[in-house]
Chain A
């Protein structure tokens, strides 16, 4: 056991100043870095520099792969701490791949749930550091406890993020009184075309990693451990541009060719994150303090239709230029959206029902988006690509943030012509897991 752990991580120092403070003054870079520079650097591979999963501490963990000095910068060998005050995989700069899984419990005993969470905790801590899980990996009479396909692979910044859905609080486990008022199935939105096979779930695991095999391995092993207690309900894998394809770490583009995530709040700003993402004790049940609510939407993009629309139509639909990502009428991607700007005929430069304008609203409501593209083969009935966006957002309050924005979008967004929401789920993501504790401990113990 543990013989495959080649990486000696420097434990995150809780006393460390937040990431932005430390790195902005880092002598390696010789100058102060803007937030965007910082995001680019942390998105790039091989720098041995990454954001810690913990949010409040904003812990920075600088690690170098020690085992293979000849290895080039290609591929990230780093691991992201599993334990911390917040769960990893939320503020963590998006890894290259996601393997998202929603599970349903098959047990009706709370003790079984707790036992599974404890087993998952042990496994998750190993999975995110690239160790083999379990202690039966060399007994010739038994199936190995780790399925092995990530044996010898580096941790690839693997994060595992856990949350429970509204259905977890039904009559089965006697936890109804602990359900946060903020956690309820989403209302129906105009244009929803939801298929139950991509909806709901008692508990979710968001596995993200810079290598899809590493992420798949994590979900596969958690599902295996869960057998007899919980079963997979639905899964979706996703991707975004990789660090190898885009060493600059620019804002990723969705499958419609547009930059997606430009307007995200600054994840290195603790005050902003406390305002937008993290629950405090005043928000609801104390077990959610330090946690966050996740909205997941599987959005099928009508790629074939989009490909037949003119560039100007496409840009009017988003309210941004395709190439630069700048708002219409502006030059830089990060220029403010000027929704009052009008052309010579008095028409708004950025159409009021463009995606950017509606998503921005008056700018007061924000959420943290962490989406991935997906491609799931063909829709056999039409022969069209079943591809789109696995939209994921994190927020303190689903109704005030995600639902408020989505209600605006679902009614008049020009983009609706090119997409349909096929899956939907919400989860209460637990606060971080303390070393020696277990996933969901604040709720279950």
Chain B
């Protein structure tokens, strides 16, 4: 894992408390977040200076942090609605809220992965971790779709919301450098390639396409932020990546259904293969974005 993070103990504690106090009041929360967001990039740029002497990534990094925080805010909000539905035993409502809530997480997944145990706590699938430690979205997914019950899930739901809030607190202090952006974009697509395109991620709900789309959107966001520098350094590469994002989006478009996406089970074998190959075609040039970092 190439992400680095430093969480000064005091700051972290403050953030957790802060988020914990305000999670019922979204407007306050957002206002407070933007304050913290503006102070963070100073640390980030200082640490990346030697690597990026030839190009200035300050504004890309600032924008990305803002994006991550926005996604996290929305993630906490949507997760709360989802976990409330679980706790209130509203199974259909919980099912409807599940996949859309996860998209906010999937867009910034590499960041979460960088933050210690947060990713397994939020997103582990069965058998990824010891059964006794299994918690998070997929445990609720199994209860809702496989067992069709919310029995004994209150604690899991509460824990998930706390983990989501902890993620929101921690992203304030994640160090982001240009290298992190470049590798993060590829990792998002690798995520799709290894578990979403195969239907393994959402084995009970079959909502894999939501995750697929969100991972791609997260990678595209990074590409767009780095695009000006990339165009300067390697215009052909920048163009190729842009075209292949468009090709993949076009490939995904027919699978839209209302506000969401069709069940993974509706995909035919050749459609999965084509999606996967389009993804590889995009990920290959994307993995060369490191060219902007210079040697």
Binding site for B on A (CB under 8 A): 106, 136, 139-143, 224, 227-228, 231
Contacts and interface: CB of A to CB of B under 8 A. Distances in A.
B277 A141 contact: no
Given A139-B291, A142-B288, A142-B290, 17 more contacts: A106-B277, A139-B290, A141-B179, A141-B182, A141-B291, A141-B294, A141-B295, A142-B287, A142-B291, A143-B290, A224-B284, A227-B277, A227-B280, A228-B240, A228-B282, A231-B277, A231-B281
Contacts of A139: 290-291, 295
A227 B244 CA distance: 10
Contacts of B290: 139, 141-143
Given A106-B277, A106-B281, A141-B182, A228 B291 contact: no
Interface string B171-190: 00000000100100000000
Nearest to B291: A142
B197 to A, nearest CB: 14
A228 B179 contact: no
Interface string B271-282: 000000100111
B281 A227 contact: yes
Nearest to B276: A231
Given A142-B288, A143-B287, A143-B288, A228 B293 contact: no
Given A141-B182, A142-B290, A228 B285 contact: yes
A224 B291 CA distance: 18
A227 B182 contact: no
Interface in B223-251: 240, 244
A106 B281 CA distance: 10
Contacts of A227: 277, 280-281, 284
Interface in B16-72: none
B244 A228 contact: yes
A443 to B, nearest CB: 24
4 closest A-B pairs by beta carbon, nearest first, are A141-B290, A228-B281, A141-B293, A227-B284
A106 B284 CA distance: 15
Interface of B: 179, 182, 240, 244, 277, 280-282, 284-285, 287-288, 290-291, 293-295
Q: Is the interface of B mostly helix, strand, loop or mixed?
A: helix
A84 B237 CA distance: 33
A84 B267 CA distance: 47
A228 B282 CA distance: 7
A394 B291 CA distance: 44
Nearest to A228: B281
Q: Which residue among B240, B280, B287, B294 has the maximum number of chain A CB atoms within 10 Å of its CB?
A: B280
A197 to B, nearest CB: 10
Contacts of A224: 284
Contacts of B287: 142-143
Nearest to A224: B284
A228 B295 contact: no
A219 B277 CA distance: 16
A228 B242 CA distance: 12
Contacts of B285: 228
Nearest to B294: A141
A149 B284 CA distance: 18
Contacts of A136: 288
A228 B284 contact: yes
17 contacts: A106-B277, A136-B288, A139-B291, A139-B295, A141-B290, A141-B291, A142-B287, A142-B288, A143-B287, A227-B281, A227-B284, A228-B240, A228-B244, A228-B281, A228-B282, A228-B285, A231-B277
Contacts of A142: 287-288, 290-291
A139 B294 CA distance: 9
A231 B273 CA distance: 10
Nearest to B273: A231
B279 to A, nearest CB: 10
Contacts of A141: 179, 182, 290-291, 293-295
Nearest to B240: A228
Contacts of A140: 295
A140 B294 CA distance: 9
A141 B291 CA distance: 7
A115 to B, nearest CB: 11
B76 to A, nearest CB: 34
Contacts of B244: 228
Contacts of B294: 141
A64 to B, nearest CB: 37
- Which of A106, A140, A142, A143 has most B Cβ within 10 Å? A142
A112 to B, nearest CB: 11
Contacts of B182: 141
A143 B277 CA distance: 19
Contacts of A228: 240, 244, 281-282, 284-285
Contacts of A106: 277, 281
Contacts of B281: 106, 227-228, 231
Nearest to B269: A197
A227 B241 CA distance: 12
Contacts of B284: 224, 227-228
Nearest to B247: A228
A16 B240 CA distance: 46
A139 B139 CA distance: 42
A137 to B, nearest CB: 12
A143 B281 CA distance: 15
Nearest to A138: B295
Nearest to A226: B281
A231 B247 CA distance: 15
